[in-house]
C-alpha cells in the first residue's frame, strides 16, 4: 500500500479554474486535470522564480517531492498546449494557509470584506 499524501500548503486558488483553446466548446475537448498543489508549485517555481528548496519549504514538502510535483505540472501544461486540451485546476491534498500571492487568489469572501 502506498504511503498517504501529506497536506501541502498553498497560498490560494487560481483566478480561473479552467483554461481552453478559444472557439471550441469545453464539452468537445479532452481535459487535463492539474491539482492545486501542482498549480502552486508552478506559481512558486516559474512565476515567483524561487529555488526548489525555498519553494518546497513554503509548501511544507521535501525538495525531491517538490521536484516531482512541478515536473508533473509542467507535463500537464505541455499536454494541454500541444494537444489542444482543456486544462482544469482542482483538488489535491492541500490546505490553504500562509500569505496570499496576489489579490486574484483571495477567496470571494475575502474580496467582499475588503471592498
Instruction: Specify the residue for cell string 487560481.
Output: 14
What average pLDDT does the segment 72-92 reach? 95
Across 5-9, 27-31, 67-71, least confident range: 5-9
d(CA 19, CA 32): 10
Across 20-24, 34-38, 68-72, 106-110, least confident range: 106-110
List of residues 6+ apart from 95 with CB closer than 8 A: 7, 8, 9, 10
Q: Set out the domains of the chain in order of their start, with CATH numbers.
A: 8-92 (1.10.10)
Amino acid at each position: 500500500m502506498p504511503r498517504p499524501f501529506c497536506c501541502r500548503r498553498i497560498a490560494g486558488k487560481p483566478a480561473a479554474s479552467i483554461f481552453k483553446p478559444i472557439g471550441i466548446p469545453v464539452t468537445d475537448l479532452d481535459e487535463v486535470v492539474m491539482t492545486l498543489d501542482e498549480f502552486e508549485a508552478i506559481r512558486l517555481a516559474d512565476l515567483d522564480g524561487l529555488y526548489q528548496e525555498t519553494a518546497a519549504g513554503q509548501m511544507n514538502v521535501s525538495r525531491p517531492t517538490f521536484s516531482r510535483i512541478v515536473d508533473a505540472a509542467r507535463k500537464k501544461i505541455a499536454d494541454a498546449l500541444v494537444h489542444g486540451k482543456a486544462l482544469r485546476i482542482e483538488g489535491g491534498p492541500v490546505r490553504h494557509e500562509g500569505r496570499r500571492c496576489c489579490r486574484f487568489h483571495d477567496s470571494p469572501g475575502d474580496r467582499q470584506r475588503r471592498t
